Amino acid sequence: MTVSSPGAPTQAPTQGKPLSGLRVVEVATYVAGPLGGMTLAQLGAEVIRVDPPGGSADYTRWPVAASGTSLYWVGLNKGKRSLCADFRRAEGRELITRLIAESGPGGGIVLTNADRPWLSYEALAKVRPDLIHLRIEGLHDGSPAVDYTVNASSGFPLVTGPEEHAGPVNHVLPAWDVACGLYAAVGILGAERHRRITGQGQRLSVALDDVALATAGNLGFLAEAEVNGVSRPRIGNHLYGSFARDFGTRDGRRVMVVALTARHWADLLTATGLAAPVAALADALGADFSAEQDRYTYRDALAGLLQRWFVSHDLPEVRQALSQASTLWSVYRSFRDLVEGDDLRANPLLGVIEQPGVGRYLAPASPIKTVPVNTVPVNTVPVNTVPVNTVPVNTVPVNTVPVNTAPPGGREPARAPLLGEHTAEILRTDLGLSEDKIRELHERGAVVSASPQR
């Protein structure tokens, strides 16, 4: 694995960086917006995160390292540049506005969850007519909400958790934030393609609540309640409509076993030696366990038979038996189990980075892997002869300094910036300000450069 240094940035590789040349200004906090920006940055876009002096509300959020550096913040801001400017001052707002307006043909893209008049589509489109502006909202009407409140109203906590549990169970994963961030990235890419073809920008919004409702609808949860008139039951670790459950082993480990298909089920019975007793049970009940619905209906009886087998075998024996089967299964692991095992280090998704305030640790790059393909030239006939990006934009050169702090090599992870690490560089290179002007802005507190390493 490669170590990325906190020193001078290196040239970003072209392989696996399809968004090179795209420039996004991100004014967002917590999960959805920063995740959307980082997703674009990991695909090669230049993403400039803008924060006020001292950092935004998420700058110190838990978990934190011993130094106080937020592992949460550095995790969601890898590979970005950092500009620290005072939003409360007119000159701070003017600098950010100029950065958006004067960012070349691949720029003029804003990702935000802030509701500020000067950062609105209406205000910025006046200085950048082909603006792409995506705002992440709580509810569809613009009212505030966060993942935890959206989740409470989505229906999911009332079908999550043990069957005997009476109250709601919130999932520890902020699923709607994560999905919303990915939707935001997709929305920006769709708008950017539209702009390349038509020259027109777009105003977009994605609401956390809409993401939750769309997911509940897409997975059939809402239709089941409306069409069938039933409420989804809480069934613990069983799989609704099929057979899956967790089982304890003799040596105290726990595994999740999933038999989605008839072949999965038959292989599971062969591996555990339970084909005969399960066949007898099927005869007694008049059931066909090759069918998903019958495996689900009689899940408790089937799980009881299987649990007797699992609890009489240690994990290595379980592993040996199930390795011969098509059945899907996995061992339950804690986060600490993950980082102390060998699997993470064998996965090319992760590499060691050197993060100021944290030190050396494993961090992920983009989960999207670029697989080398035939290098024979293709599509040599000119295509897309329609003029693109016909709306005039500022032609001031932008970002001539390499950004990505990761070394070449495709999926190598990049470290997060220090707060304000690129402030002077952005003012100098992207906005063309003189050293005297940059010094003056620092002295007045309108901008701040990198905080000391904590």
* Residues with catalytic roles: 177
Tokens at 166, concatenated: 């009476």
Q: How many Cα atoms are found within 13 Å in the side-chain-facing hemisphere of 153?
A: 13
Task: Count the residues in the chain.
Answer: 454
Number of helical (H) and strand (E) elements in the chain, helices listed first: 17, 12
Give the whole-angstrom CA distance, residue 96 versus residue 52: 11
Is residue 150 a contact partner of residue 209, using CB atoms and an 8 Å limit? yes
Tokens at 151, concatenated: 């989740």
Q: Which residues pair with 46 in a beta bridge?
A: 23
| Cβ-proximal residues to 308 (8 Å cutoff; 6+ apart), any chain | none
Tokens at 253, concatenated: 């480990």
Residue type, 399: N
Give the whole-angstrom CA distance, residue 396 versus residue 429: 10
- Sign of the dihedral defined by the CA atoms of residues 388, 390, 395, 399, in that order: negative
Planar angle of CA 389, 393, 398, nearest 5 degrees: 105
3-state secondary structure of 185: helix
Give the whole-angstrom CA distance, residue 106 versus residue 307: 58
